Amino acid sequence: MTEPLLSVVVLAWDNLPLTRRFVESVRAHTDVDYELVIVDNGSAPEAAEFARNAADHAVLNDRNLGFAVGMNQGLAAARGEWIAFCNNDTVLPVGWAATLVATGSAHPQAAIVVPAITAARNADTVRSVPGAEVTVLPPFSAPPPAVLYLMRRSEILALGGWGEEFAVASGEDVDLCFKVWVNDRDIVFDERVLVDHVGHATAERLPDSEALWARNRQRFLDAWSGPGDPPRLASCAPDRFARNRETARAVAGWMERYFSARDRARARTAVPGARSSSRRLLGRIRRSLRRT
């Protein structure tokens, strides 16, 4: 068998109606040679059996191993030159694949291509209708959520895959974006493709999602403000890598100060000016990033 151009990798944990709807959109709307890899993270028998039968290649876990581990399992099973890492609470539109692959091919520095989505906490890539622009997101800005990340298989492997230190879910997408930016690579936003996204369909099923998010946030801040280095791509000159690593370290420090101020403000909502203080710090962070 020849290798497909594209591997669509999706992680599922129950939510069978959403997974079924996602698979139907993949089968109906993917307009390049592709394979569908479903990683089932310990779903109930009916959902796990659907994954087994619906996928071109299924990975069936007996328990929930988390987002990063599951996506790395899908990466290991994938054969395509390009990989679309997808959430199962999405519906892919007609022509999505050819458009995003063409965008990635047209931007030699692109490590990640993301579409517009209908819902997300970070509104930068949220749209209600498709747009007309293809833009490069500013480095070390708010990373786009990992609703759909299109990457070359060689690129994600060189970056070390998804960070499995981030337990269950959250934080691994921000970490991956920083690995891209520190290597002088781009994240390209193609708003011509609009993906329908439910949002938080899996996270809402976690009994301690807020605590998990807080722990993963701290893992990210500790890693990126500390002395360690992520993988360096051969295409990134050592001096550029060192400069970008210092920028990433500074941004992580600014982020920690922002979150600390925001958390204090939330704990003191009755104190006048607490929220405005947090907003002022966020404004200073953004202005500093523009000067970097």
Percentage with pLDDT > 90 across the chain: 75
CATH superfamily label, 6-205:
Spore Coat Polysaccharide Biosynthesis Protein SpsA; Chain A (3.90.550.10)
For the whole model, what pTM was predicted?
0.88
Beta bridge partners of 90: 197
In this prediction, residue 265 carries a pLDDT of 81
Q: Is the pLDDT of residue 203 over 90?
A: no
Per the listing, tokens 């996270």 go with 203
CA 176 – CA 85 distance, rounded (Å) = 12
CA 54 – CA 38 distance, rounded (Å) = 8
CA 152 – CA 110 distance, rounded (Å) = 9
Q: What is the pLDDT of residues 214-223, one digit of tens each?
A: 888 889 999 9
Percentage with pLDDT > 70 across the chain: 87
All structural domains of the chain with their residue ranges: 6-205, 209-291
CA 280 – CA 166 distance, rounded (Å) = 30
Q: 10 Å Cβ neighbour count for 159?
A: 23
